[in-house]
Every structure is written in C-alpha cells, then in structure tokens.
Amino acid sequence: MSVALDRRTRRDADLRHVDLEAFVASDFPGLAARNGSVVARGIEALKAPPLAVEVGDTAWSFARSGDTLAVVPGIAGGAVVVNLSEEEFSDWVQNQRSFNSMLTARNLRYRGGTERDISVWDSLWLALLEGWPVVDDAIAFHDRHGDPLALDRIFTPDDDPADIAHFLREAGYLHLRGWVDPADMRRISDDIDRVLPNRQEGDGRSWWATLADGTRRCVRLQEFVEHSPTTAAILRSDRWDRLRRVIADGDDLVQAPVEGRCVEALVKPVGVVVGPSDVSFHRDCHLGRHAYRCSGTTVGISVTGSSEANGQLRVIAGSHRVLMPVEVAKTEPYLPVVAVPTLPGDLTVHLSCTLHEATPPRLEERRVMYAGFTLAARDGDNAEGGRALTELRERVTDILRDDADPTHTQPA
C-alpha cells in the first residue's frame, strides 16, 4: 500500500519543553498504546537491546514487553545507554533531532552498545512517535491496476501522469527520460568548469573532499544557478513546472525561486578517501524533522551519464514505507536495492524518506545537479525551524576533514 506524499503530523508552533519524567508520565502511555506493537515487532525482528536514556541524574529504560513497548526506571540490563542534556532530550522526543544528527555532529554520548544499536533505536523511536513500521513482511509493489510493479521502469513525458505519481508513492523514487534536453548537459558541464576555479575551501559556497593522492577537490557547488543560464532556463521551463504538477498529483508541492541555493552542482571524482562526495545509504530526513517536512522530493539532473563505472544512484524500494535503519541498510537490507543508471539528461526523483546512496566512481568522474520541490508551508510552520539541521549539513565537509586530520583548523 503506497503512502501519501504529505506525511507531516507536527508543527513548529506546537513545540514545547519536554523533560524526561514528564514524558514518561504523560506522553509515553498514549504513544505506547497507539504504536507500541509496531515498535515491539521491530525490536524482535532486529534483535534490538533495551534503550536507556539518561538526563542528569535520571534514567529510564525502554524495552519490549510482550507485544508492546514498556518503560521502567533505571538502566536495564544489556541496554545501550544514551546520555542527553535536557535540551537534547526535548528535541529528540519531538523529532527535532535524531540520534543520527547527534552522531553526525560528533556530540552523541552513549555506551554499552554499537552504532548499529543507535541507528536501530533511531528507527524504533520514530516508529513510536509516528507509527511508521520498522519491518513489514507483507510489503509488495503494485501498479495502479494491481499488477507487479517493474522497479526498473523509466518514465517519459508521454506516459500517463497517474502512473508516474503512483510509482513514486509506491516505490519512493522515479527514473525519468526525455524531460530535459540532453544537449543542454554539455553546456552545463562547461559552466561547472568555469565556476570551479573560482571556489575556495571555506568560502561557504562549496564542499571539498580529499583524494587518494592527498589533493583536495571541490565536489559541490552551491549558488550555481547564477553562473549557468542553461540551468536557470531548465528550472524556469514549462516542462519543469509540468514535472512538479505530475509529481504533486493534487498535493501542494512548490518550487523555490530560481536563485541562490535552489540547485547544487556536484562533481564526483575518482578516488575520494575523505569527504562528503559519495554518501552511503541515508534518508534526507535522517537528521530529524521528518514529521515537520516530509515528504520533500529531490530531483537529480544527470549532467553526465551514470553507471557502475562512474558511480550511480541506488535506492531501496519501499524504504519510505518501512523504516529500515540506516546502518542496517548498509549491510543487510531487507527491501529491494535498485540501481538507477542514467544517460545525460535523465532525471531521478526520490522522496526525502527514501533510503538512497551514491556509489563511488571507479573509472571516471560523474557530474549531477540536485534541485527539487517541497510541500507548501502550513499555518504553524516556522521557516527557521530547520535552520540547525541545515547548518549541520553545511558543516559536514569540515567535520569529516577534522576526523581525518584533528590538527586542521579552518581559515580565518
């Protein structure tokens, strides 16, 4: 059964301070009554240890009890123990931040477990808050007529828009051909070549990575559209707006103004050893705020083709419907993993909840741009609500470099 595009259940206007004792007494009983069985099935399937949460001198443990989730005071035997500040706990229980975001920021404090345990509990906790199943043995993929869905299907502008919209909601991604003129890709690649020499590490408009020979390469260009008239023309075209309407299928999807950071140009060289170039399986909402913004849609524009030789997008079909933990997806995925090889000018679309990765180039570099559409704002939303996660995303390139070279300091 496919899911709706608009999955938002929370608004920034409803945020409040939540402390651990108040959550256990007031919020947890209702959540466990609604979603405890979903969490219990996930704990059993993934063999998750109990989770103990410490805030100051207080600790409570969450663990499976029969067919539901229970909470007990103290630290349960065999638990993975997470130590949070009051602010971190309040953000975490309201889906403002996830354990993944704290791991990314290098400020999650835990003991007695592994990163896999932390990742599993990130999924289990979101299942508790939102009722999104972690496992579903009955998941299947069908077209609008009930026939099996061909997960490698490529859609053109001549295909039925209803089939396109259904596939996205059923599988969590799309592969499109014929929506953009392939001849434009050569001009865009030339634009990338012109911009690259003018970007410097630390300029706030680019991401960098280290290659095997020690050189630093720019791998992401932000604020690119002002340097590429061809890209701007694509994003302002009637065909692009038609794509937005086909994907929306009645939902209120909007496009950002064609300026600033509405699109990013990525260069994926061979031999990256440090840096955010080829990111393994993740969700775009895995840092937090799924319940405030999903599902957004990310559209990839293949400037070069993509393949096993120069890297490609891979998606886990249905992972917007089943909350597979990120660390499990990397090693033991239990849904179909689909490679999406492209020709120049092909488009890919994935939902913000869909697990996806970029495989590293082996023989030659790849170039791609990413734009997208977002759900229209609602009353009670705060445009600044996701600023902390946006800032964390922009810091990733520095965090990874500092991990590799703790003596590195940023330029003044």
Show Cβ contacts of residue 34 under 8 Å, excluding neighbours closer than 6 positions.
131
CA 47 to each of CA 44, 79, 111, 331: distance values in angstroms, whole numbers, following the listed order: 5, 12, 18, 15
For the chain, give every residue range classified as CATH 2.60.120.620: 161-404
Six token digits for residue 129: 């808050």
Average pLDDT, the chain: 95
Crossing angle of helices 238-248 and 161-171, rounded to 10°:
60
CA 56 to each of CA 70, 86, 98, 109: distance values in angstroms, whole numbers, following the listed order: 21, 8, 19, 13
Six token digits for residue 124: 């289990």
Tell me the CA end-to-end span of the chain in Å, nearest whole number: 53
pTM confidence score: 0.95
Compute the average pLDDT of residues 74-102: 97
For the domain 161-404, what is the CATH superfamily, name and number? q2cbj1_9rhob like domain (2.60.120.620)
Six token digits for residue 174: 């799309």
Domain formed by 12-130, architecture:
2-Layer Sandwich (3.30)
Strand intervals (E) in 234-352: 253-254, 264-268, 272-274, 297-302, 313-316, 337-340, 347-351
Confidence tier at 409 by pLDDT (50, 70, 90): very low
Residue matched to tokens 């009554």 = 33
CA distance linking residue 303 with residue 95, whole number of Å: 35
Q: What is the pLDDT of residues 317-376, one digit of tens each?
A: 999 999 999 999 999 999 999 999 999 999 999 999 999 999 999 999 999 999 999 999
At position 101, the amino acid (one-letter code) is S
pLDDT at 394: 80
Residue 308 CA to its chain's centroid (Å)? 22
pLDDT at 405: 61
Quickly count helices (H) and strands (E) in the chain: 12, 17
Would you mind telling me the total number of residues written for the chain in this entry? Answer: 412
Residue 155 DSSP symbol: B
Six token digits for residue 82: 């997470």
CA distance linking residue 358 with residue 360, whole number of Å: 6
Residues pairing with 93 in the sheet: none
CA distance linking residue 235 with residue 157, whole number of Å: 16
Compute the average pLDDT of residues 245-271: 96
What's phi and psi for 209, nearest 5 deg?
Answer: -140, 160
Q: What is the pLDDT of residues 115-173, one digit of tens each?
A: 999 999 999 999 999 999 999 999 999 999 999 999 999 999 999 999 999 999 999 99
pLDDT at 404: 63
Q: What is the share, in percent, of the chain residues with pLDDT greater than 90?
A: 90
Strand intervals (E) in 263-353: 264-268, 272-274, 297-302, 313-316, 337-340, 347-351
At position 58, the amino acid (one-letter code) is T
